[in-house]
Amino acid sequence: MLKRVRRYPNVAVMVVLAVVLAMIPLVIDNNYVLTILILVGQFAILTVGLSLLMGYAGQISLGQATFFGIGAYATGILATRFEFSPWLALLVGVLLSAGVAYLVGTLIFRLRGHYLAMATLGMNVILFLVLSQEVEWTGGPSGFRGVPDLNLGSFALTQDVHYYYVMWLFTLLVIGLSLNIVNSRVGRAMRALHTSEVAAETVGIDTGAFKLKVFALSAAYGGLAGGLHATFLGFMSPSSFGIGVSIELVVMAVVGGLASVWGALFGAGAVLIIEQYLRTAIKAIIPKASGEHEIIAFGLILMLIMIFMPEGLVTRVVNTIRSRPSRSSRV
Contact 116, 108 (CB under 8 A): yes
What would the pLDDT profile of 289-321 be if each residue is shown by its tens digit? Answer: 666 666 677 677 777 777 777 667 777 666 666
Contact 252, 162 (CB under 8 A): no
β-bridge pairing 144-145 and 235-236: antiparallel
d(C-alpha 323, C-alpha 241), whole Å: 41
**What residues are paired with 155 via a beta bridge?**
152
Question: Can you tell me whether residue 1 is helix, strand or coil?
Answer: coil
Q: Please tell me the predicted confidence (pLDDT) of residue 304.
A: 76
What would the pLDDT profile of 75-133 be if each residue is shown by its tens digit? Answer: 999 999 999 999 999 999 999 999 999 999 999 998 888 899 899 999 999 999 999 99
Burial of 29 (0-12, 13-18, 19+ CB in 10 A): exposed
Q: What angle is formed at CA 102 by the lines to CA 189 and CA 106, rounded to 5 degrees?
A: 85
Phi (first) and psi of residue 28, to 5 degrees: -120, 110
Contact 248, 66 (CB under 8 A): no
d(C-alpha 208, C-alpha 185), whole Å: 17
CA 271 to chain centre: 12
Percent over 70 (pLDDT), the chain: 88
What are the boundaries of each domain within the chain?
2-324
Q: Is the pLDDT of residue 263 over 50?
A: yes
Higher pLDDT, 255 or 279: 255
Q: Is the pLDDT of residue 6 over 50?
A: no
Q: Is 156 left (phi over 0), alpha (psi -120 to 50) or beta?
A: beta
Architecture of domain 2-324: Orthogonal Bundle (1.10)
